[in-house]
Structure formats: structure tokens, C-alpha cells
């Protein structure tokens, strides 16, 4: 049975993590999403954050909402990988 993956924009699971997917593919997805989140957050603080702070409040909220959604996906992917135990 596939593992349900919640999507932060909905209350119900929207995606299913196929149980046939190997740990390496799961680790690759986890690493990719973590790197994407790191890149997105890099422009929100320090001198890089000046442009971010000039965005309208709506754009800032939506941008940070996207970051939060990625962070939640990273957590779900990590939990799915941990639940599988060591190969």
C-alpha cells in the first residue's frame, strides 16, 4: 500500500508515496527539496533580503507560504524514509 503524503494546501492527502520507490530516490527527492528551500530562504534575510522586503505583503506571504510547504514536504519525506529503517 502506498504511503499517503499530505499537501499543506489541503486537509486530505493529495499525493501517495509509492512504496516501490527505493530509499535512494526518496533521499534524492528529500535532498532536492531541502536545497530548493535553502535557496528560497537565502533571499529573505541580510542584504539579499532587501528586494524581498520591497515586495508587497501579499507576495511576501505567498513566498513564505511556499517555503513552509516545502519544509512540511521535507519533514514528510524524512519521516517516510525513517519509517523504512535502514536498507
Q: For residue 18, what pLDDT is reported? A: 83
Alpha helix segments (H runs only) across the chain: 23-42, 49-54, 57-84
Q: For residue 52, what pLDDT is reported? A: 96
This prediction has a pTM of 0.81
Q: For residue 16, what pLDDT is reported? A: 78
Q: For residue 7, what pLDDT is reported? A: 61
Structural domains counted in the chain: 1
* Domain around 33: 3-84
Local structure of 9: helix, strand or coil: coil
Full pLDDT tens readout for the chain, 87 residues: 466 666 666 666 677 788 888 999 999 999 999 999 999 999 999 999 999 999 999 999 999 999 999 999 999 999 999 988 855
Amino acid at each position: 500500500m502506498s504511503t499517503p503524503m499530505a499537501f499543506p494546501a489541503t486537509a486530505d492527502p493529495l499525493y501517495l508515496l509509492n512504496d516501490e520507490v527505493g530509499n535512494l530516490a526518496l533521499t534524492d527527492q528529500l535532498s532536492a527539496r531541502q536545497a530548493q528551500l535553502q535557496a528560497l530562504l537565502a533571499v529573505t534575510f541580510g542584504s539579499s533580503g532587501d528586494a524581498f522586503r520591497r515586495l508587497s505583503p501579499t507576495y511576501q506571504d505567498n513566498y513564505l507560504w511556499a517555503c513552509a510547504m516545502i519544509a512540511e514536504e521535507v519533514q514528510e519525506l524524512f519521516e517516510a524514509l525513517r519509517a523504512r529503517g535502514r536498507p
